[in-house]
Amino acid sequence: MLGLNTADLPDNQASRKDGNERIISHYSKVRQLSESLCQPLEIEDYIIQTMPDVSPPKWHLAHTSWFFEQFILIPYLKGYQPFHSSYHYLFNSYYETAGQMWSRPKRGLLSRPTVAEIYEYRHYVDEKIKFLEESMGSAPQWETEITPLIELGTHHEQQHQELLLTDIKHIFANNPLRPAYRTDSNSVEIKQTTIQQTLQWHSYEGGLYTVGHEGDGFYYDNEKPNHQMYLQPFRFASTLVTNGDYLAFIEAGGYKQPQHWLSDGWRIIKEQRWQSPLYWEQKEDNSWWHMTLIGLQPISLDDPVCHVSYYEADAYARWAKHRLPTEIEWEVVAKTLPCQGNFLDSGFLYPISSPKNLQEPNQMFGDVWEWTSSPYSSYPGYRPPAGAIGEYNGKFMCNQMVLRGGSCISSKNHLRASYRNFFPPDARWQFTGFRLAEDR
Amino acid sequence: MLGLNTADLPDNQASRKDGNERIISHYSKVRQLSESLCQPLEIEDYIIQTMPDVSPPKWHLAHTSWFFEQFILIPYLKGYQPFHSSYHYLFNSYYETAGQMWSRPKRGLLSRPTVAEIYEYRHYVDEKIKFLEESMGSAPQWETEITPLIELGTHHEQQHQELLLTDIKHIFANNPLRPAYRTDSNSVEIKQTTIQQTLQWHSYEGGLYTVGHEGDGFYYDNEKPNHQMYLQPFRFASTLVTNGDYLAFIEAGGYKQPQHWLSDGWRIIKEQRWQSPLYWEQKEDNSWWHMTLIGLQPISLDDPVCHVSYYEADAYARWAKHRLPTEIEWEVVAKTLPCQGNFLDSGFLYPISSPKNLQEPNQMFGDVWEWTSSPYSSYPGYRPPAGAIGEYNGKFMCNQMVLRGGSCISSKNHLRASYRNFFPPDARWQFTGFRLAEDR
Amino acid sequence: MLGLNTADLPDNQASRKDGNERIISHYSKVRQLSESLCQPLEIEDYIIQTMPDVSPPKWHLAHTSWFFEQFILIPYLKGYQPFHSSYHYLFNSYYETAGQMWSRPKRGLLSRPTVAEIYEYRHYVDEKIKFLEESMGSAPQWETEITPLIELGTHHEQQHQELLLTDIKHIFANNPLRPAYRTDSNSVEIKQTTIQQTLQWHSYEGGLYTVGHEGDGFYYDNEKPNHQMYLQPFRFASTLVTNGDYLAFIEAGGYKQPQHWLSDGWRIIKEQRWQSPLYWEQKEDNSWWHMTLIGLQPISLDDPVCHVSYYEADAYARWAKHRLPTEIEWEVVAKTLPCQGNFLDSGFLYPISSPKNLQEPNQMFGDVWEWTSSPYSSYPGYRPPAGAIGEYNGKFMCNQMVLRGGSCISSKNHLRASYRNFFPPDARWQFTGFRLAEDR
Amino acid sequence: MLGLNTADLPDNQASRKDGNERIISHYSKVRQLSESLCQPLEIEDYIIQTMPDVSPPKWHLAHTSWFFEQFILIPYLKGYQPFHSSYHYLFNSYYETAGQMWSRPKRGLLSRPTVAEIYEYRHYVDEKIKFLEESMGSAPQWETEITPLIELGTHHEQQHQELLLTDIKHIFANNPLRPAYRTDSNSVEIKQTTIQQTLQWHSYEGGLYTVGHEGDGFYYDNEKPNHQMYLQPFRFASTLVTNGDYLAFIEAGGYKQPQHWLSDGWRIIKEQRWQSPLYWEQKEDNSWWHMTLIGLQPISLDDPVCHVSYYEADAYARWAKHRLPTEIEWEVVAKTLPCQGNFLDSGFLYPISSPKNLQEPNQMFGDVWEWTSSPYSSYPGYRPPAGAIGEYNGKFMCNQMVLRGGSCISSKNHLRASYRNFFPPDARWQFTGFRLAEDR
């Protein structure tokens, strides 16, 4: 499931110690970031669950710790005492083979354990992980088994950091008091007028391409095996679809015209009465605003559209007489480009507009996760790892669509060109947008 | 709606001032008690809602303050600035004519306002009420309009104090960690063996009785007008049905035999899979335990059964070849007895067993609210007061059953013989029990 | 449960034979009427169920036969072979103690048995009942046990004849083709203008009244025991509330003003988006029409309003500054009047307007069932009969309101002043209307 | 959408007339078959809908006629009068751009139009189609526009013939009387013991393959464009998974072990309490039976397993340490084989066992639709046709899985190697089974 390439590590003690230090230091940074991200929260904000997909922030803090406890400390640290006998039941997410768990839609019904107790839990686990390194850092298992699991655990926690922010956004957006997660953003300039952005098309040849993770570095099991795919020639849009673009679709009556929509999508927009992206609202003066992590803001037309479902992305593309790219097309393009963009690290916490007239596709990494037209399924020859860890990715390969590229709340070092994210086609609370493609 | 008898107050300034002081002092005590009752809570406990009927504790604290703000401060205090412009929307419960409100089942989706802000709100309102007395205490409206509303508001708050405790109990009971609300109860002796309690029957004559509130003192509108009712002769049980009695019903297969049950009740016990009172659970050794405000406890057979629905009370009575009393029978008996018993004031926080061989019906007040066989409807000639305050009692006169007598978490000075409580027949999270009656 | 007074029958064979003939002849007439009522149906109309409360017509035909089979033929006819081994399961309605049954909301999922098979079933049962009389007509059980059960069975079937018509109406009204049950009604004159009807008020004294069934003749168990009730003086409206009256309430915004409504009623009209009685619709020219058993018709303003829920009746009364009568008030008035009016026997199949300026309350029997303000509960000393037959009335004494007087689709010989019908307060598909009362 | 190759037709009147006759004759045969398939039904069986996915048989008969009326008669037959003005509303299935329609889950709530009226409708449409040929058969539009639409309409009707039978099976299977659709099947031998069937594996090379419809003859739009795909080498099972194979999975506890299941599948088998294929039941003697179109039958271990969802097929494959084939693998194999097997034409109406030791994969066509591991999505360059007809296939390309090969109730001349059927992964009421594949 995990490809930390340990083969090339120099085989001496010094470098071994360096490697261990690097791993523990990375572990500590990731763990610390989860807590930093919660720094603006009141205790009250940690507890609630505004829809079944959302988890209370305290749950994320606990679950990511449970992951280390369950898959590393219990199997590898001799004599380890779990922090609390009920936490396994409360903080297992979906690892069926690891035992029974508290029902997901009821995560917001638990006032206890308190937030303070969960921070204690985190620190207990952190201490024990460090102790594990001290006691087993030179054992062979450390390198072959534990290090890969720690790396997996940190990537797992990075995923939950993103969920933490999307869930906090949902919690705040559903409160009529409209709290802002971050209030220190005086510098944000909202550009209300559209730059005459010239969408450019980049052409790619058809033929056989190699798809999937290649080279060193961490990857998830679903990025493998790499394999050949035959593609038709295609064109790829230089930038993401913007709020301004999407507003044109709304104003043209896109949400009222069945011909643009997948059958399931049409049913859902009727049932849910969707008429714009999630978090958008129109004031009495007809101006459009949206809830962001920096509070309620006017919509900036040049910024990428965000919080749309697959159905909306697909309907827009059909209306615009283009299509969404496949995940393979996206990956083929992305592999030619550096992983740079607007990530969590930049601190904006919302997607930002792109410069014009670039030589290459822009906004590939960061800003918003890009819906592709590819249903999430396994690569040829895929095998999930054995045991509960094998429930990480493979068992979700149904009824989900692949998203690529990461968002403005992803950590840069969590992303890569072969990374496959996935959500059901009606999910909107993630930072999800899209770009267009077309046949040549 | 409210019968504070002001006619007899001596007509001089000194006594007027005493009266005002008494009212403000009562107000302060009641207000203080709400906060004291929350003293054992963590901030996390204030926020959540474990089912639609339950409100988060912070909501109770805010709503009871809103009641004073909405019905007293806004109409009577010149220049009053509401504490926060959104609180009217957030903390109105069901006063439709007072405007729109946040949906009840979504009360647990609000992390903000924080608990600290709600305490601020409470203190702001308290201060303004005191200021109102200072500035208007000698105006005629004070006595004719404001005082009755303050009294209504304190009774309203006492009702919510009871709900606060039932809701906290529900919140704690649904948490697998099983927190206890009060942990200092070393003195509780659990009596596992049944005293051979001789249930006694007290006889009452048929004929015309006067029903409804009589005399001075506060009453709710639904206790009036008093009027005559013709009763058949009846017998009335000396004590409440106990856990031991009810266990015999369970063990005799009562939950599996349709002939004891109302049609709606049978449907509900099937749908909900009820097999015992709420909060009861049977351990592997077959012993019965129940969740209480002092934590999970073994069931004491002599204590009154509690947390049963009307359907269960009615089914038990039919199985036992008796019946439930009507609310009028209950009131006729209660009017001959003093209002004494096991109230919130005693500090037990659970119903306790009765002494034997008494000359009169016992446990009439306190311990548990007693289900009667009377659907909740209006007394002949009943008129609710005008305006939003009129939504207090009358609009619930459908699909509810009357309960009488108060419980172990009611304030003694909140109760009286004519007091009519009401809940839907499937409600179980209140402290509800029952006693038997029969025809003579 | 049933009070056929057999004590006074002359004690000789000749009159015994007459009595038996009379009973069998009555049985045959009632049974025949069920089939006549289905004569306008196509086979397709017998099968479907347009909501859980509705049963397919074929089910009514079968269930009423099952009643005779289950409670008479099986216990009393030696060697009786049930018509089909599965019919007990398929056509038991709610007699839990008689065994398991096919779920009510799934009655419309059964294409088989065919309609022809069900008619066969009916005729088989009819034949066996006649054979039972021939073989046991002079046995003592015939008079003491069987005759009362046959009489109960015919009243049971008369109740289902009414349900048959209300269910057919629902089935036809929900079909966009709008079929008419009866198309031969050329003579119906629709009066679109309101007669200046002077609603009159009749006064009744307070005091002790005897309530419940008295004298000879059939009655249901829930009409007994008769007993004394103390009433306040009251006034009683001379006629039913009309379509014209009710339209004034609609046009005054009655469905938009919470102050008129019970809390449950307000919730339901919001959820269900009720804005007028069931089956009413407003055309583009603003004229009001309603579906009837003779097809879609313009609303006649002088006819009684029909197909309103208790909530709507109660809200109208509050808006009109009156109230609904209690069931006891209704009965006190009705006992002074003959049982005459617009019944099934008259053939109109819809409620008709009343003449003016009468000396006595009019439209008491027939036209529409009248909602009273009385929750359906037991009379003092009530005991249901033993066995499954005891599930007839008593087990529904919760969450229902009493209706009195019968409707335009009730058989005249099925009604009497003490007859208590009952439905949940949100039921609208029965022929339900109301009249006003007030305190003196 | 439709590929009738008209280019090669000889350009003279004689052959033109022959072509027209052939088309009308094919039309008539297909139309007649729908009615023949309904021959065993009682009128009652035509009306009901046992779940939202099921349509009443009369609806299928009407909808397929509406298709010809809507897409051919109205646009092409001058002066055509639709049979009934409401049928467009009642019998449009999902063509949103063709206008509003009666809600799908309410199709079983319509007793009218009667079955006789619907047969009249069919014959009216048939007559008009013949008249259209007579009047326009030599016009250019006939060949370029109308003929392709008639051919599409007949394929559409063949699809509904299959749905008709699956829906009748569901209607009968849900009836406790267990009616059989066909009772003349004396010749059916049920083989209770398993032949020692040697499952064989056939190997296929990796490389570039052409996928999609090629050559003449009818095809659906979703089979185009044909295009190249690069495959890994694979092995393909010689026969379908049998009841005996699947029973081993059940008996090994397959339905209780989360590790075999997709996450969505595990949730659904818990929610729906699935423990075996649809229509299977275990008698008290532990023998397994299943409902078939010839009534309730013992399960024959060598017959292909049927009525399993994608989730069950996928879980079985994982348990068996193999996998499902992709739709491309299936097509690559099928294109080497003739379209022969157990179809509707054979009259069995259930899947039958395969002979052993064959040189090639068997049971590819007919018996059961085979679940593949491929989510249903568009081929590169796919464009649906313009207008309402374009809603035929493309708008369902989400949340569905591809099935290949046809079933025992498909018409042979409706099938081909490139045919792509699709259903949601939880659908079980179709004749769905599967075979295994594996990587080489």
What's residue A193's pLDDT? 47
- pLDDT of residue B12 exceeding 90: no
Q: Is residue C189 part of a domain?
A: no
ipTM comes to 0.94
Is the pLDDT assigned to residue B244 strictly greater than 80? yes
CB B247 within 8 A of CB B302: no
**Residues B398, C265: C-beta atoms closer than 8 Å:** yes
Over residues A157-181, mean pLDDT: 98
Query: B191 in a domain, yes or no?
Result: no
What is the average pLDDT across B135-142?
Answer: 95
Contact C259 B97 (CB under 8 A): yes
Segment B332-339 mean pLDDT: 97
Res. C122: pLDDT tops 90: yes
Task: Name the CA dihedral angle for C341, C345, C350, C355, rounded to a multiple of 10 degrees.
Answer: -30
Q: So what's the pLDDT on residue B2?
A: 40
A383 contacts on D by Cβ (under 8 Å): none
Q: Please report the pLDDT score of residue D16 as a whole number.
A: 82
Nearest CA in chain A to D326: A380
Q: Which residues of D touch C171 (CB under 8 A)?
A: 111
What is the extent of the structural domain holding D137?
13-173
What secondary structure does DSSP assign to C333-368, as a single string?
A: HHTTS-S-EE-GGG---S--PPPSS-SS----EESS
**Contact list, A62 vs chain B (CB under 8 Å):** none
Nearest alpha-carbon partner for B48 in B184, B182, B183, B173: B173
For residue A109, list chain B residues with Cβ-Cβ distance below 8 A.
Answer: 48-50, 108, 171, 174-175
Return the CATH number at A145.
1.20.120
Listed as own residue / partner, the contacts of D204-210 with beta carbons closer than 8 Å and 24 or more positions apart are D204/D231, D204/D233, D204/D234, D204/D235, D204/D236, D204/D329, D204/D332, D204/D333, D205/D233, D206/D230, D206/D231, D206/D232, D206/D233, D206/D234, D206/D440, D207/D231, D208/A230, D209/D328, D209/D332
B208: left (phi over 0), alpha (psi -120 to 50) or beta: beta
% of chain D with per-residue pLDDT over 90? 87
- DSSP secondary structure letters along D141-167: HIIIIIHHHHHHHHHHHHHHHHHHHHH
Contact list, B373 vs chain C (CB under 8 Å): 377-378
Q: Which of D232, D377, D390 sits opposite A380 (nearest CB)?
A: D232
Q: Identify whether residues D225 and D102 lie together within a single domain.
A: no
- Distance CA(B75)–CA(B73), nearest Å, equals 6
What CATH number is given to the structural domain containing B211? 3.90.1580.10
User: Residue D121 falls within a domain, yes or no?
Assistant: yes
Residue C395 to residue C98: CA distance in whole angstroms: 14
- Counted across chains C and D, CB pairs separated by less than 8 A come out at 78
* Residues of chain D contacting residue C50, judged by C-beta atoms under 8 Å apart: 109
CA–CA–CA angle D380, D381, D385 (5° rounding): 130
| Residue A292 to residue A279: CA distance in whole angstroms | 8
Identify whether C259 is part of a domain. yes
Q: Is residue A180 part of a domain?
A: no
Cβ distance of C398 and B228 shorter than 8 Å: no
D182 inside domain: no
pLDDT at residue C346 tops 70: yes
- Mean pLDDT across D409-435: 98
Q: How far out from the chain centre does Cα B66 lie?
A: 20
Which residues in A lie closer than 8 A to residue B112 (C-beta atoms)?
Answer: 42, 44-45, 175, 177, 179
C71-85 average pLDDT score = 97
CB atoms within 10 A of CB B349: 20
Distance CA B408, CA B366 (A): 5
In this complex, do C46 and D44 lie within 8 Å of one another by their Cβ atoms? Answer: yes
pLDDT at residue A182 tops 90: yes
Q: Searching chain C, which residue's CA lies closest to the CA of residue D109?
A: C50
pLDDT of residue D197: 60
Contact residues, chain D, for A258 at CB < 8 Å: 96-97
- Chains in touch with D (3+ beta-carbon pairs under 8 Å) read A, C
Residue of chain A whose Cα is closest to the Cα of B170 = A109
Question: Is C184 a residue whose pLDDT tops 80?
Answer: no
- pLDDT average, residue stretch B243-270: 97
Task: Tell me, yes or no, whether B143 and B74 share the same domain.
Answer: yes
Partner-chain residue, chosen from A232, A311, A377, that has the shortest CB–CB distance to D375: A377
Q: Is residue A364 part of a domain?
A: yes
Q: How far is CA C213 from CA B440, C226, C227, in A?
A: 22, 6, 9
Would you say residue D179 has pLDDT above 90? Answer: yes
pLDDT bin (cut points 50, 70, 90) of residue D409 is very high
**CA-wise closest residue to D290 among D282, D280, D300, D275:** D280
Beta-strand runs (E) in A153-213? 201-204, 207-211
Of B87-96, D190-199, D404-413, give the lowest mean pLDDT range.
D190-199
What pLDDT sits at residue A12?
67
* Residue A395 Cα, gap to closest chain D Cα (Å): 4
**From CA D246, how far away is CA D259, in angstroms rounded?**
17
* Model confidence at D157: pLDDT above 50: yes
The predicted structure's pLDDT at residue B149 = 96
Rounded to whole angstroms, how far apart are CA atoms C400 and C378?
12
pLDDT of residue D139: 95
Q: Which of C137, C156, C173 is a domain's end point?
A: C173
Q: Residues A116, A58: contact at Cβ < 8 Å?
A: no
- Interatomic CA distance for residues A347 and A349, integer angstroms: 6
**Residue D371: which residues within 8 A CB-CB, separation 6 or more?**
D308, D310, D313, D314, D324, D401, D403, D432, D433, D434
In 3D, which of D242, D245, D199, D204 has the Cα closest to residue D330? Answer: D204
Query: What pLDDT score was predicted for residue C387?
Result: 87
Tell if the CB–CB gap between C176 and D48 is shorter than 8 Å. Answer: no
Contacts of residue D439, defined as CB under 8 A and 6 or more positions apart, other chains included, come to A380, A381, D232, D233, D234, D235, D323
Nearest to A7 by CA among A152, A155, A217, A211: A217
Query: Above 60 in pLDDT, residue C131?
Result: yes
By Cβ distance, the residue of C48, C86, C113 closest to D109 is C48
- Of D135, D158, D173, which marks where a domain is finished? D173
Q: A371 - beta bridge partners?
A: A403
- D to C contact (≥3 Cβ pairs closer than 8 Å): yes
Name C134's Cβ contacts closer than 8 Å, sequence gap at least 6: none
Mean pLDDT lowest among C357-361, C377-381, D41-45, D100-104: C357-361
What pLDDT, on a 0 to 100 scale, did the predictor assign at position A183? 85
CA distance, residue B129 to nearest chain C CA (Å):
28
For chain D, the C-alpha Rg in angstroms (whole number) is 22
What's the pLDDT score for residue C97?
87
Mean pLDDT, rounded, for D176-182: 96
Beta strands at C437-439 and C234-237: parallel, antiparallel or unpaired: antiparallel
Question: In this predicted structure, what is the pLDDT of residue C185?
Answer: 57
| Min Cα separation C110/chain B (Å) | 23
Assess whether D116 and D250 both reside in one domain: no
What rounded mean pLDDT belongs to chain C? 93
- Contact call for B259 and C228, based on CB within 8 A: no
Q: Are residues C160 and C280 in the same domain?
A: no
Structure tokens at D334: 């099928």
Same domain, D153 and D37: yes
Mutation choice for B interface testing from C231, C398, C426, C440 by most B CBs within 10 A: C398
Q: How confident is the model at residue A432 (pLDDT cuts 50, 70, 90)?
A: very high
Per-residue pLDDT, D185: 57
- Would the CB atoms of A89 and B174 count as touching at under 8 Å? no
Residues of D with Cβ-Cβ distance to A380 under 8 angstroms: 231-232, 439
Contacts of A48 in chain B (CB under 8 A): 47-48, 108-111
Chain-chain contact of D171 with C111 (C-beta, under 8 angstroms): yes
- Helix (H) or strand (E) segment spanning residue A331: helix A327-334
B230 Rama class: left (phi>0) / alpha (psi -120 to 50) / beta? beta
In tens, the pLDDT along D254-291 reads 999 999 999 999 999 999 999 999 999 999 999 999 99
C-alpha distances in angstroms, A161 versus A264, A401, D175, D321?
Answer: 31, 21, 52, 36
Q: Do B and C have ≥3 inter-chain CB pairs under 8 A? A: yes
Picking from A429-433, C350-354, D54-58, D193-197, which range would have the lowest pLDDT averaged per residue?
D193-197
Q: Do C266 and B229 touch (CB under 8 A)?
A: no
Question: Are B219 and B148 within one domain?
Answer: no
Chains A and C make contact, 3+ CB pairs within 8 Å: no
Are D258 and A96 within 8 A, CB to CB?
yes
Q: Higher confidence at residue B204 or residue B15? A: B204
Distance from CA of A52 to the nearest CA of B (A): 12
Minimal-distance CA residue of chain B relative to A173 = B110
B218 plus B132 within the same structural domain: no
Average pLDDT value for chain A:
93
Average confidence (pLDDT) over A203-210: 97
Does pTM surpass 0.90? yes
Is chain B adjacent to chain D, meaning 3+ CB pairs within 8 angstroms? no
Does residue A135 lie within any of the structural domains? yes
Chain C contact partners (≥3 CB pairs within 8 A) = B, D
Do B341 and B367 contact (CB within 8 A), yes or no? yes
Measured distance CA(D21)–CA(B190) in Å, rounded = 93
pLDDT tier, A185 (very low <50, low <70, confident <90, very high otherwise): low
Q: Minimal Cα–Cα distance from A271 to chain B, Å?
A: 20
Name the nearest CA neighbour of D200 among D83, D356, D62: D356
Query: What is residue C355's predicted lDDT score, i.e. its pLDDT?
Result: 82
Give the per-residue pLDDT at C260.
Answer: 97
For residues B110-134, average pLDDT: 98
C165 and C229 in a single domain? The answer is: no
pLDDT over 90 percentage in chain B: 87
pLDDT band at A198 (very low <50, low <70, confident <90, very high): confident
Interface test with C, best of B263, B266, B377, B438 (most C CBs within 10 A): B263
pLDDT at C2: 39
CA distance A223 to A335: 14
The answer to whether the CB atoms of B90 and A45 lie below 8 A apart is no
Q: Which of A42, A108, A114 lies at the smallest CB-CB distance from B114? A: A42
For residue B234, pLDDT over 50 is answered with yes
Average pLDDT over residues B39-58: 98
Strands across the sheet containing C201-204: C201-204, C234-237, C437-439
D176 and C89 within 8 Å at the Cβ level: the answer is yes
Same domain, A169 and A214: no
Q: Do residues A405 and A357 both lie within one domain?
A: yes
Per-residue pLDDT tens digits for A70-116: 999 999 999 999 999 999 999 999 898 888 999 999 999 999 999 99
pLDDT band per the 50, 70, 90 thresholds, residue B403: very high
Distance CA B407, CA B370 (A): 9
Q: Among candidates D154, D202, D199, D159, which has minimal Cα distance to D60? A: D159
Is residue D7's pLDDT more than 70? no
- Are C232 and C349 in the same domain? yes
Average pLDDT score over residue span B344-350? 95
Please compute the mean of the pLDDT values over residues C201-211 and round it to a whole number: 97
Give me the residue from B208, B263, B398 closest to C230, CB to CB. B208
Lowest mean pLDDT among B270-279, C129-138, D182-191: D182-191
- What average pLDDT does this structure show over B423-439? 98
CA distance D328 to D212: 9
Tell me which residue of A411, A408, A403 sits closest to A367, measured CA to CA. A408
Q: Is pLDDT of C6 > 50?
A: no
Residue of C nearest to D168 (CA): C111
**Digit-coded pLDDT (tens) for B208-225:** 999 999 998 999 999 999
Question: Is the Cβ pair C43, D43 closer than 8 Å?
Answer: yes
Phi, psi of B199 (to 5 degrees): -65, 130
- Domain tally for chain B? 2
- What confidence tier does B387 reach under pLDDT thresholds 50, 70, 90? confident
pLDDT at A29 over 80: yes
Q: What's the confidence (pLDDT) of residue D3?
A: 39
Interchain proximity C111–D174, CB inside 8 Å: no
CB D361 within 8 A of CB D236: yes
Residues D419 and D345 in one domain: yes
